[in-house]
């Protein structure tokens, strides 16, 4: 008899020979080759996010900015947190006038028109 194959777990092929699931290899190949939504891309995006958050913190330290990180905030019980909460707001020149920046949430995502219009624009200046 065939074991149940979890459609959300394709990290390794099933240990038993294929029987009622002849498309498993095709599905696995599609998951592996997906350049946008597959687990390989998700891992890459997560890694890039960590690298950019680290770079952000290094640059803020070089500026002498006072801030706490998302990890710091979570350690104190906060649930919805930015990547960096500035303890002293920074002035950012936008279209000839200064805007105060109180927090920064680094995004490791592709900035297409749809994403910028929905996810990012709500948080922007």
- What is the helix, strand, coil percentage profile of the chain, to 5? 40, 20, 45
- Percentage of residues in the chain having pLDDT higher than 90: 32
Beta-carbon-side half-sphere exposure of residue 125 (alpha carbons within 13 Å): 11
pTM assigned to the model: 0.60
Separation of alpha carbons 96 and 92, rounded Å:
10
Separation of alpha carbons 105 and 121, rounded Å:
12
Q: Which pLDDT tens digit goes with each residue over 92-104? A: 998 899 999 999 9
Give the pLDDT of residue 58.
94
Separation of alpha carbons 58 and 66, rounded Å:
12
Q: Which pLDDT tens digit goes with each residue over 67-76? A: 999 999 999 9
């Amino acid at each position: 008899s065939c074991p149940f194959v979890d459609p959300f777990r394709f990290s390794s092929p099933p240990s038993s020979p294929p029987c009622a699931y002849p498309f498993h290899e095709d599905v696995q190949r599609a998951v592996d080759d997906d350049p946008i939504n597959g687990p390989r891309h998700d891992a890459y995006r997560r890694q890039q996010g960590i690298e950019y958050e680290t770079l952000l913190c290094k640059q803020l330290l070089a500026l002498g900015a006072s801030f706490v990180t998302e990890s710091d905030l979570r350690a104190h019980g906060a649930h919805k947190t930015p990547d960096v909460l500035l303890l002293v707001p920074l002035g950012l020149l936008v279209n000839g006038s200064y805007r105060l920046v109180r927090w920064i949430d680094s995004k490791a995502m592709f900035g297409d028109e749809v994403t910028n219009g929905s996810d990012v624009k709500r948080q922007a200046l």
